[in-house]
Each structure stands twice: as C-alpha cells, then as structure tokens.
Amino acid sequence: MTCRWPEAGVTAPQPETLVEEAAFRLLREGTRFTLSGDVDAGAAARVLQALEEKAGGGEAAELLLDEAEIIGGPAAARMVDAVRLLLDRFARLRLVRAPQALAHTLYRVGMLQPGSRLELIAPREEEGRAS
C-alpha cells in the first residue's frame, strides 16, 4: 500500500502544521502525517483533537513516527485513539517507525491482525541503556 503522490512535474502538497508546541509537532502533507517530539498524555490528546478537526479522509494515509517518543501508558492509549480515528477516515493506514510503546499497545488491543487495514512498518525497538 502506498499513498498517492503527484506525478512528476506536479507540485506536491505543502506541509501544514496541525499542532506545534515546545515539545512536539504534527504536520500534514496531503495524506501523510508526521509526528515528532515528546508526546505525553496531554500532547497525545491535542494530536487526537487536531486529527479530528483536520485529518480529512480517503483511500490511504501514512503516519510517520520516526522522531516521536510516546511517554507513558496514557499517551500510548490516546495515540491508539488517534490511530482508530485515522482508520475511521481512511481505507488503509501505514504507521512508519512507531515507537515500541505504541506498537506494543496496538498489538495488545488486537489492531494488528493479519489482513488488517493497519500496517506497521519497521517499528522501533527500545534502545538499551548502559549501566
């Protein structure tokens, strides 16, 4: 599954900032969403609210999480709500480089079943810390 991007020579959508605060930022480029920074429960609630207001809908979407850190169980639970909202609006959703806390929570709630409209791409592993 891939998001549809413009043909060669056609201008791609410009990034739109949906939420930006000191600790995190959510951008949208067409049907590609990029979340970066530290996402605690309050930030995750603001991400969900922004997606409710401005996510749009369609065939396929991507949520890029390469630079996002989900901080704590309540934040992971709220981000599951955000994933559910995107699945309500789009026929398919790809989560790219999801933090382990979110990937594990999605697995625990049964959202990563074979044949699911949700695809997890290269989830991140927690990095070990030297003692």
The per-residue pLDDT for range 37-55, each reduced to its tens digit, is: 999 999 999 999 999 999 9
Give this prediction's pTM. 0.85
Residue 96's nearest CA partner among 38, 31, 49 is: 31
Average pLDDT score over residue span 19-41: 96
Bridge partner residues of 39 (DSSP): 70
Average pLDDT, rounded, for the chain: 89
Q: Rounded distance, CA 41 to CA 36, Å? A: 14
**Averaged pLDDT for residues 102-121:** 93
- CA count, 13 A, side-chain hemisphere, 40: 4
| Amino acid, single-letter form, for residue 36 | S
- SS3 state at 47: helix
Q: Are 118 and 87 in contact, with CB atoms under 8 Å apart?
A: yes
Question: Using CA atoms, how far apart are residues 83 and 128, in angstroms rounded to an integer?
Answer: 27
Q: Does the structure show a pLDDT above 90 at 117?
A: yes
**Alpha-carbon torsion angle 11, 12, 13, 16, nearest 10:** -110
